């Protein structure tokens, strides 16, 4: 039987995926009104959700907050991520969610439209200097200016490469000013049948089927997108988007520089040193260094697109404050978020390696740290220069689920990018219309 544990501790707070909240009361001030801080610290109970427990959240942050704010008594609700995110739906329906928790950015945006997440814009305006943070600080901002979350951390991608495979083939290493065409041309040089049996043994690139490391980078590099700027209209039939899908699938079907989707099912080609390059999410460095400590690798920025612009996909989990929490619990939750964004807590986050901090000073310190990858600026400067979310809106999970089977068929060569895009357009627009 799955367990859902409740812990109470003096000042504990969480980095999680869903959280429970406190009892109902009036909503916090809207973005048009000012937020008045509490006059004096008094004892407050704060409920915090912790999906994934301290595997997701650095306990150093919790301990640090506890030491600074002993007047805030924390109740921690924890469970495995999947269990937590399932249970939070019931908590919200029963008006018994935590005061603060975090989940994926798209989920948080959905909570905002449903009145579950507090608009944090007035708090940010009151207490933060946004210029001290990278743009991803406001990645939960909606077209109408509301801000429903504060990043738990950001996970951009970069181009990772195996130095040994480049050196063995006398091919120069990638650089931060590479283009997608440079990447493709080099991948062709590095794709080899090393034993002469007519089968490829080493691939120049590993093409992913996922959104973050797969099709989104390619359509953005071609000037396309999944949704329009207002995030209400599907744009899969835009010629630039179709061109991006074509280039993405060509890496497997035409250029043959990547193993197929089926071949990748049970094998990590980069870790087994059978591919020279692939896109790597920042958090992926943990397993790469753990599983292959002797592998000689590094990263460069995501290449400049065919359209002359760089786009760096970024995955963001967001903290939210429950809109129906008591006023004093909301203020306590915001106190936690301010601490979370401080140099101390952001340093703890940086040390975990699970995601990048959003504080600029902490990112600068990370760049000087030792250990692989050496070129950490591929991530830190890449996200500062060109970081962007994955065309996320409140129905992101739904429309992505509708598109994925057809995208897989495109990558497998079962349907052309043009015909596949037409089918995806209809399905995604249907989802968008249903969720207006």
Supply the DSSP string of 122-164, one letter for each residue: HHHHHH--GGGB-GGGGTTB-TTS-B--EEEEEEEEEEEEEHH
- How would DSSP label each residue in 48-76? EEEETGGGTS-HHHHHHHHHH-TTEEEEE
Residue 3 has pLDDT above 50, yes or no: no
**Do 99 and 332 contact (CB within 8 A), yes or no?**
yes
User: Which of 78-92, 196-210, 422-436 is the least confident region?
Assistant: 78-92
Q: Which residue has the higher pLDDT, 50 or 124?
A: 124
- Binned at pLDDT 50, 70 and 90, residue 367 comes out as very high
More confident call, 213 vs 17 = 213
**What is the reported pLDDT for 56?**
67
Please spell the DSSP secondary structure of 11-50, one letter per residue: T-----S--------PPPPPTTS--PPPSS---EEEEEEE
The confidence score (pLDDT) of residue 39 equals: 55
**For residues 282 and 287, what is the distance between their CA atoms, to the nearest angstrom?**
11
DSSP bridge pairs for 279: 159
> Which has the minimum average pLDDT: 28-37, 336-345, 351-360, 404-413?
28-37
The residue among 235, 179, 286 whose CA lies nearest residue 424 is: 235
**Average pLDDT for 19-41:** 46
Percent of the chain residues past pLDDT 90, beyond the cut = 79
C-alpha of 196 from chain center:
41
Check whether 53 has a pLDDT greater than 70.
Answer: no
pLDDT tens, residue by residue, 99-143: 999 999 999 999 999 999 999 999 999 999 999 999 999 999 998
Mean pLDDT along residues 347-357? 90
Q: Please tell me the predicted confidence (pLDDT) of residue 40.
A: 59
Q: What is the pLDDT of residue 18?
A: 35
The β-bridge partners of 48 are 76, 100
Residue 267 pLDDT grade (very low, low, confident, very high; cuts 50, 70, 90): confident
Arithmetic mean of pLDDT, 378-392? 94
CB-based contact 95:324 (threshold 8 Å): yes
Phi, psi of 339 (to 5 degrees): -65, -40
- Rounded CA separation 144/180 (Å): 34
> Is it the case that residue 95 has pLDDT exceeding 90?
yes
Is residue 79 pLDDT above 70, yes or no?
yes
Strand pairing class (297-300; 150-162) = antiparallel
Q: Which residues of 300-318 are buried (b: 16+ CB within 10 A; e: fewer)?
A: bbbbbbbbeebbbbbbbbb
Mean pLDDT of the chain: 89
Question: Would you state the pLDDT for residue 23?
Answer: 37
Q: Using alpha carbons only, how large is the chain's radius of gyration in Å?
A: 23
3-state helix, strand, coil in the chain (%, to 5): 40, 20, 40
- Ranges of H-type helices in 341-416: 343-352, 360-367, 377-386, 396-411
Give 51 or 82, the one with higher predicted confidence: 82
Q: Report the 10 Å Cβ neighbour count for 62.
A: 24
Asked whether the beta carbons of 117 and 110 are under 8 A apart, the reply is no
pLDDT at 41: 75
Alpha-helix residue ranges (DSSP H) falling in 191-292: 216-221, 239-253, 284-291
The token pair that represents 245 in the structure block: 């899908």
Cα-based angle 289, 294, 299 (whole degrees, multiple of 5)? 55
Range in 48-52, 94-98, 266-270 the model is least confident about? 48-52
Average the pLDDT over 18-46 and give the result.
54
Cβ atoms 402, 391 nearer than 8 A = no
The beta-carbon contacts of 407-413 under 8 Å, at least 24 apart in sequence, are 407/209, 407/215, 407/245, 408/209, 408/261, 410/245, 410/248, 410/249, 411/207, 411/209, 411/214, 411/215, 411/248, 411/249, 411/252, 411/261, 412/260, 412/261, 412/262, 413/249, 413/252, 413/253
Q: Is the pLDDT of residue 90 over 80?
A: yes
pLDDT-derived band at 20, boundaries 50, 70, 90? very low
Angle, alpha carbons 348-349-355 (nearest 5°): 155
Q: Are 105 and 140 in contact (CB under 8 A)?
A: yes
pLDDT at 30 over 80: no
For 195-238, the pLDDT digits (tens) are 999 999 999 999 999 999 999 999 999 999 999 999 999 999 99
More confident residue, 48 or 30: 48
What is the mean predicted confidence (pLDDT) over 149-159?
A: 95
Domains of the chain: 5-154+316-383 (3.40.190.10), 156-314+390-434 (3.40.190.10)
- What pLDDT was estimated at residue 9? 37
Nearest partner of 173 among 296, 282, 271, judged by Cα: 296
Rounded Cα gap, residues 108 and 394, in angstroms? 8
Per DSSP, the three-state class of 259 is coil
């Amino acid at each position: 039987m799955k367990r859902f544990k409740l812990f109470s501790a003096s000042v504990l707070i969480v980095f999680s995926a869903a959280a429970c909240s406190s009892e109902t009361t009036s909503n916090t001030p809207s973005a048009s009104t000012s937020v008045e801080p509490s006059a004096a610290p008094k004892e407050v109970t704060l409920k915090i959700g912790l999906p994934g427990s301290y595997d997701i959240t650095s306990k150093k942050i919790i301990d640090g907050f506890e030491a600074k704010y002993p007047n805030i008594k924390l109740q921690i609700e924890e469970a495995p991520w999947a269990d937590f995110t399932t249970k939070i739906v019931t908590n919200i329906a029963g008006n018994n969610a935590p005061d603060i928790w975090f989940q994926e950015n798209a989920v948080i945006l959905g909570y905002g439209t449903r009145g579950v997440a507090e608009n944090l814009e007035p708090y940010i305006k009151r207490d933060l200097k946004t210029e001290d943070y990278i743009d991803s600080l406001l990645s939960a901002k909606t077209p109408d200016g509301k801000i429903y979350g504060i990043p738990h951390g950001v996970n951009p991608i970069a181009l990772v490469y195996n130095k040994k495979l480049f050196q063995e083939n006398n091919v120069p290493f990638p650089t931060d000013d590479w283009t997608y065409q440079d990447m493709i041309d080099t991948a062709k040089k590095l794709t080899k049948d090393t034993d002469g049996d007519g089968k490829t043994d080493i691939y120049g690139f590993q093409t992913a089927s996922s959104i973050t490391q797969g099709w989104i980078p390619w359509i953005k590099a071609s000037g396309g997108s999944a949704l329009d700027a207002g995030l209400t209209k599907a744009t899969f039939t835009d010629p630039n988007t179709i061109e991006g899908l074509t280039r993405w699938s060509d890496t497997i079907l035409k250029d043959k520089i990547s193993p197929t989707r089926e071949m990748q099912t049970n094998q990590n080609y980069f870790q087994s040193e059978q591919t020279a390059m692939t896109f790597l999410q920042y958090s992926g460095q943990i397993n790469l260094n753990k599983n292959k400590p002797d592998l000689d690798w590094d990263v460069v920025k995501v290449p400049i697109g065919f359209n002359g612009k760089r786009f760096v996909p970024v995955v963001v989990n967001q903290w939210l404050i429950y809109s129906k929490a008591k006023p004093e619990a909301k203020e306590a939750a915001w106190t936690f978020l301010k601490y979370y964004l401080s140099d101390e807590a952001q340093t703890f986050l940086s040390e975990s390696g699970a995601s990048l901090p959003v504080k600029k000073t902490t990112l600068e310190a990370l760049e000087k740290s030792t250990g692989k990858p050496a070129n950490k600026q591929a991530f830190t400067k890449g996200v500062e220069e060109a970081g962007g979310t994955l065309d996320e809106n409140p129905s992101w999970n739904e429309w992505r689920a509708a598109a994925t089977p057809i995208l897989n068929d495109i990558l497998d060569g079962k349907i052309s990018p043009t015909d596949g895009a037409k089918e995806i357009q209809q399905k995604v627009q249907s989802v968008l219309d249903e969720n207006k």
